[in-house]
Amino acid sequence: MHDTEFHQPDFPYSSPGSGRGIGAGGLPVTLSIFADRAHLRAVMRDDAQAAGLKIATFASLADLSGGAARPLGDVVMVDCPQVDAEAFAALALLDLHAARCDVRLIVSTSVEALDDVFSCMDQSAPVLLVDPSRAERVIALGQVLAGFGQNRLRELSDDDRLMLLRLSDQVGQIAGKIERLAPDVSQVKDGGDSAFRFASQSYGSGSIADEIGALQKGRRYAARPPLPDARLVRKIIRQRQQRVRHFDPGLFADPAWDMLLDLTAARVEHKRVSVTSLCIASGVPPTTALRWIGQMVEAGLFARVCDDSDRRRAFIELTDRAADAMARYFAERE
């Protein structure tokens, strides 16, 4: 790779109303694929073509900033299992351009490189996958395409619209299966703003969901009680983790709560939590954890915090709203 900036002539992104790309004159949805592993590129291409997408770019990761004139599609899929300085710069620039030009990104990486990828892609809200299976990539593609919205769907050709609706329906069916397997995790249907809604579950004598909901509706309380002793929270976390020694871990999957506990303890301890560490604390696969983290950020419960001294690091922490709710929840347990 060359450590150079993207230039508009080199990467002519489509933009709304420009007469190119999605929705312009019924043109098909276009996809760009960048991956160094040839076999993986081929698999990604085959799956995209099977879904009816037009491949705008099919190249190695090095070509992402290699200076060749390549148009980027409406959706860009990137596989970056390792991040060096050049890859970091290329991903950061891609992230910036995607945010400016309404390009949807799907980026797969490894556990080892997750923190680096997460820290350099903070503008476009990409879908991040960690060591994904082929099925997980297809599901992510369907979710991204379904997210274009009805206004943009109406601009598509009949064939493209049917393709997107089929993918959306498949994703909905998968979500339904997940919901039946884990009743405490419900997905919003019928065009909800969030991919998840947090079920109103009571823990002990209080309800964290009710407390958060009240705060989100703008209610004001007196000064909040202090957060609990970190040792108590860590003890609860250990007890929750010990259950998997005796039962199927899937019986207790509750990533939102496990991450709230971990971040609560870290806040009391004045420690920073990386996205990789939080994924581990969630007790679910990293790709699933990343989806939850994204929803918790959208819900105003988690905040992404960049390291001012190192651009290649970013952390997740509780918002004041979430800290208030956690403090009140633990106070009601006593």
pLDDT tens figures, 146-156:
776 544 444 55
The pLDDT value recorded for residue 178 is 43
The pLDDT value recorded for residue 173 is 53
Amino acid at 8: Q
Q: If you average pLDDT over residues 198-216, what whole number do you get?
A: 46
Q: Is 129 helix (H, G, I), strand (E, B) or coil?
A: strand
pLDDT-derived band at 330 (thresholds 50, 70, 90) equals: very high
- Nearest-angstrom CA–CA distance, 299 and 14: 30
Could you tell me the two tokens for 191?
Answer: 């065009």
The phi and psi torsions of 305 (rounded to 5 degrees) equal: -125, 125
DSSP one-letter code for 313? -
Q: If you average pLDDT over residues 9-31, what whole number do you get?
A: 46
Report, at the CATH architecture level, how domain 30-181 is classified. 3-Layer(aba) Sandwich (3.40)
Write the CB contacts of 276 (distance below 8 Å, at least 6 apart in sequence): 111, 114, 115, 286
pLDDT-derived band at 165 (thresholds 50, 70, 90) equals: low
Report, at the CATH architecture level, how domain 198-333 is classified. Orthogonal Bundle (1.10)
Per-domain residue ranges of the chain: 30-181, 198-333
Could you tell me the two tokens for 226?
Answer: 């202090």
Strand order in the sheet with 273-274: 273-274, 314-318, 302-306
pLDDT-derived band at 30 (thresholds 50, 70, 90) equals: confident
Q: If you average pLDDT over residues 39-54, what whole number do you get?
A: 87
Q: If you average pLDDT over residues 74-84, what whole number do you get?
A: 93
Is the model's pLDDT at 316 over the cut of 90? yes
Dump pLDDT digits (tens) for 240-280. 988 888 888 778 888 999 999 999 999 999 999 999 999 99
- Nearest-angstrom CA–CA distance, 34 and 16: 23
Is pLDDT larger for residue 315 or for residue 204?
A: 315
What are the start-end ranges of the H helices in the chain?
A: 38-50, 85-101, 114-120, 134-146, 150-155, 158-181, 208-216, 230-242, 255-269, 275-282, 286-298, 320-333
